[in-house]
Amino acid sequence: MNPEASAGAVPSASAASRERTKQLFASFPTGVAVLAAQDAQGRWAMPMSTFTVGISLDPPLVSAAFTRSSRTWPHLRSAARIGVSILGEDQHAVLRRLGGADRAARWEGLEPIVLEGSALVLPGAAAWMLTSLEAVHPAGDHELALLRVLDHGLHAAQRPMIYHRSGLYGRGADLEGPASGS
């Protein structure tokens, strides 16, 4: 599709293939966050690139988009507090483990820091936040969660991991393909 030829035309959702749309979205570089909490059933973590900061400064709000088919999101949604870790550029092994298909093995060898309300954050992250769920809005095949930032920390010496075009960038970034979510 030629952007100049279609000036003013808005393509319908059916005109764009799902794969082309995913490629478009993946062309925007973003950080990688892990949202995590624990409940009576265990520890829950969701790595994602659909995390956005700076939604509001007063009150401080961030957002995260969760696919409606997620089995992890209901646990995070019901948590009193949710921890957010912005992964550092050298935390590729952590991402692989938490994004892996074997749910029972996800936390093996990882010792998260437990914050207020059973929120979990990861040591060595470039930044962390303690959040509470402010609101949830339907957003197509996802739900968009607004999270209020209650506390946070920044590790200035740690650079963040970057996700771009289905690849990860930073030190030790030899990951093949996209990071999987829950």
Distance in angstroms (rounded) separating the CA atoms of residues 131 and 45 = 14
Distance in angstroms (rounded) separating the CA atoms of residues 101 and 37 = 18
pLDDT in the model for residue 150: 98
Distance in angstroms (rounded) separating the CA atoms of residues 180 and 150 = 28
pLDDT in the model for residue 179: 42
The yes-or-no verdict on residue 2 having pLDDT over 80 is no
pLDDT in the model for residue 126: 96
How far is residue 95 from each of residues 118, 125, 177, measured CA to CA in Å? Answer: 21, 11, 13
pLDDT tens for residues 93-108? Answer: 999 999 988 888 999 9
pLDDT tens for residues 52-86? Answer: 998 999 999 999 999 999 999 999 999 999 999 99
pLDDT in the model for residue 68: 93
pLDDT in the model for residue 164: 76
pLDDT in the model for residue 84: 98
How far is residue 118 from each of residues 21, 121, 129, measured CA to CA in Å? Answer: 36, 10, 13
Higher pLDDT, 172 or 118: 118
pLDDT in the model for residue 176: 39
Q: How does residue 23 score in pLDDT terms, banded at 50, 70 and 90?
A: confident
Q: Which two tokens stand for residue 108?
A: 């093996």
Assign 3-state DSSP to the chain and report helix, strand, coil percentages, each to 5. Answer: 15, 40, 45
- pTM for the whole structure: 0.82
How far is residue 25 from each of residues 17, 20, 28, 45, 166, measured CA to CA in Å? Answer: 12, 9, 6, 23, 10
